[in-house]
Amino acid sequence: MDYSTLLNTEQLRPVTDTQGAVLVLAGAGSGKTRVLTYRIAYLIEKCGVSPYNILAITFTNKAAGEMKERIRSVTGEDGMWVMTFHSFCARVLRNDADKLGHNRNFSIYGEAESDRIITRILKEEHPEDTDKKKSIRWHISAAKSIAMTPEQYALRIKDNPDSALITQVYARYEEELAKNNAFDFDDLLLKTFLLFAMHKDVLEKYQDRFLYVHVDEFQDTNKIQFLLVKMLVRKYGNIFVVGDDDQSIYGWRGADVGNILNFKKDYPDCRIYKLERNYRSSGNILKTANKVIANNAGRMGKQLWTEKDAGVEVAYRSLCDDKTEADFVLEQILSLVKNRGYKYSDFAILVRINSLTRVFEDRMSSYGMPYKVIGGFKFYERKEIKDFIAYLRMAVNPADSESITRIINFPKRGIGDVCVEALIAACNARGLSLFEGLKRLDELELAPAYRKKLAAFAALATDLAENKESMPLDEYVKYVFDKVDFYSAYDMDDPEGRTKLENIDQFLTSVHEFCADNPDVKLEEYLQTLSLLTDADETDEGNYITIATIHGVKGLEFRCVFIVGLEEGIFPSLRSDTTTADVEEERRIMYVAITRAQERLWLTNAGRRFRFGKYESNSVSRFVKESGLIAATRRPEERTVHHTVQKALRRDMPKFAASNAAAAKDLSVFKPNAVVMHPKFGRGVINEINGENARIAFDALGVKVLNLRLAPLTIQGE
């Protein structure tokens, strides 16, 4: 095999450097997987190294599978250890867990099993703190990632008001794992580290086997993973790591960029190679990426370049508000689909925080544009939004027992499963719906303690139902928010809690905007509109616009990328305790976002954004300023853009919808009383038609309102 014809000069040098410590700084789109694959092939073919003596560690099972297949296709070799850190550790422990006092036939508990144990512990010992389960789970994982016992971790978090609770649950959790002869995912790493540290014979066995150790995505390693690798290579010193300090974006889950930045200190004789030639993006996109990341002080430094043309200029637009920003993005997409032959799947809209997806989802749903969400649920499918909608549905339809059981104990009211089961049984015995039963608690056969717990919720349910028509819809949803006290349901000191409240705030904003366009709308009508958003069927598989958090698209690429919401406080995401290191990680996230783009890139921000019940005016993100684009393409205030875009969308959307076969549908065949068939909902009868929307009574699911043009309905005989 002639490696000089298969690799460029930058790639060939590390591939043929086979002894000692090697660090490959692989820029985005520079072919790092190719380098790893051919490096292993070179060891086998040119150096006579047995595949038995080679270890390759990746971060995902998918990456491991792809690398195995590439190595097999290049060398014909199979059975080599190419796997994730967790798979490697599990295999080690299967052989030697008994040395730590564990049975080798241990179970491995995933997140669901771990959550169940923690939930049970809290219910038994701290029932008032069951809502802190996820926070405690995070702390236990963090402690294990730095090899700390409950006692050691207690000292580390002594200023946390929940430190005693966390460490008590952590200790009991460990007892439960031991009782069940089980390891969680963090244990796989920690127990292997302890095994190597306490039993030199075991460590030497693996040192003598794996003479050449390779690690991909080295910038994403945490402390335990770093120490495991260091132990393995201590005897022979042949370590080959590939990573990009500029793409280290997982600090929040324990990754330490210092592992790659300080590699030279840990291995003073190491050679460092830079892969700076990019095969993905145009010259202008790379120029923007280089300008932004150059502002980070904590980096090793590299300059991406390409032999591709400069390509289309990177565009920056400052729009007057978030709705106009969304419309601008849709206009660009529709124009390129119409005039340049792009597909919807060529586009990605990238956000820093989940709550920003809502306005884009609303716009795309209303125009029938196909999309998928990566890095989170679709906005209206998120639990906190479904919970809020359940309150509204209960107010409109008291017979909706599903909605009632969903929210009867949310926020926490001490109404457990046993109490709910007793209520259901008592209502069934009297032939009452749950709502009717709640209004007539004194007539039900219930224990006094249950009746007392249910009374407060019954009063709330009655109040919400009685007041749904007493005020405008946007005022009513705010009334529901306050009456239910959603604010106290989430912990603002917990990142997940803040995110959920932001999403609920975005929901309130969407209702406010809907009411502005439909002043006399009733709650029932609004809920029907939501049904259109959530029940409309997806179009042809694969041809979707991607809406994603930036973390959700790491490793992916798109022909066209929009990075939206570029405002201080949003991107970068800032808090009062934000450090320089935090800002540098935010900048790396921006760098990752930019380098997802192949051909076209837009940066956008909104002058005003509706959040937390009011319009916020945030300054333009420092990252836009660092890109050098403001002076070049700054536009005057664009209040008129919204109307221009709306006109373009109304004019062109039917033409684009034709590509999905929807616009060509003859709607005249759909008439009241017609029998229709839906592939998901089954047989139904059209009760009423209003424009392109039809109210349909399905045999299995009841009444739904669907868009006749978008829904896959077929006329059936009687």
Cα–Cα distances (Å) from 356 to 125, 250, 378, 503, in that order, read 39, 20, 11, 8
Ligand-binding site membership of 33 (annotated):
yes
Residue 77's pLDDT is what? 80
Is it the case that residue 584 has pLDDT exceeding 90? yes
Choosing from 217, 244, 327, 567, the catalytic residue is 217
The total of other beta-carbon atoms located within 10 Å of residue 237's CB is 14
Ligand-binding site membership of 26 (annotated):
yes
Residue 616's pLDDT band (cuts 50, 70, 90): confident
Active site residue 247: yes
Residue 331's pLDDT is what? 94
CA-wise closest residue to 380 among 499, 531, 509: 531
Kindly calculate the radius of gyration of the chain based on its CA atoms and give it in whole angstroms. 29
Instruction: List, for residues 391-435, the tens digit of each pLDDT value.
Output: 998 898 887 777 888 899 999 889 998 999 999 999 989 888 888
Choosing from 10, 184, 187, 216, the catalytic residue is 216
Active site residue 216: yes
Active site residue 19: no
Instruction: List, for residues 270-281, the tens digit of each pLDDT value.
Output: 999 999 999 999
Residue 652's pLDDT is what? 56
Ligand-binding site membership of 258 (annotated):
no
Residue that has been written with the tokens 């119409």 in this structure: 338
Residue 646's pLDDT is what? 58
Compute the distance between CA of residue 409 and CA of residue 406 in angstroms, rounded to an integer: 8
Compute the distance between CA of residue 685 and CA of residue 393 in angstroms, rounded to an integer: 23
Active site residue 33: yes
573-582 long-range contacts (CB < 8 A, ≥24 apart) are 573/352, 573/353, 580/297, 581/251, 581/298
In the DSSP assignment, the letter for residue 660 is: G
Compute the distance between CA of residue 708 and CA of residue 704 in angstroms, rounded to an integer: 12
Give the whole-number percent of the chain exceeding pLDDT 70: 90
Instruction: List, for residues 477-522, the tens digit of each pLDDT value.
Output: 999 999 999 888 887 777 778 878 888 988 888 888 888 878 888 8
Which residues share a beta bridge with 602?
A: 315, 562
Is it the case that residue 700 has pLDDT exceeding 70? no
CA-wise closest residue to 182 among 243, 107, 244, 257: 107
Instruction: List, for residues 11-28, the tens digit of each pLDDT value.
Output: 999 999 999 999 999 999
Q: What is the pTM of this model?
A: 0.72
Choosing from 207, 247, 288, 604, the catalytic residue is 247
Choosing from 393, 453, 596, 611, the catalytic residue is 596
Asked if residues 214 and 36 have their Cβ atoms less than 8 Å apart, the reply is yes
Residue 358 amino acid letter: R
CA-wise closest residue to 656 among 340, 355, 201: 340
SS3 string, 19-37, reads CCEEEEEECCCCCHHHHHH
Instruction: List, for residues 42-57, the tens digit of each pLDDT value.
Output: 999 999 999 999 999 9
Instruction: List, for residues 635-664, the tens digit of each pLDDT value.
Output: 444 444 555 555 655 555 544 444 444 445
Question: What does the DSSP assignment read for 624-644?
Answer: HHHHT-HHHH-----TTHHHH
CA-wise closest residue to 42 among 25, 59, 54, 30: 54
Ligand-binding site membership of 31 (annotated):
yes
Which domains does the chain show, CATH number per domain? 3-93+190-275 (3.40.50.300), 108-180 (1.10.10), 315-370+538-659 (3.40.50.300), 381-529 (1.10.486.10), 665-716 (2.30.30)
Tokens at residue 270, please? 């190491």
Ligand-binding site membership of 30 (annotated):
yes
Compare 200 and 544 and report the one with higher pLDDT. 200
Is it the case that residue 113 has pLDDT exceeding 90? no
Instruction: List, for residues 343-399, the tens digit of each pLDDT value.
Output: 999 999 999 998 899 899 888 877 778 888 886 556 777 889 989 998 998 898 887
Ligand-binding site membership of 28 (annotated):
yes
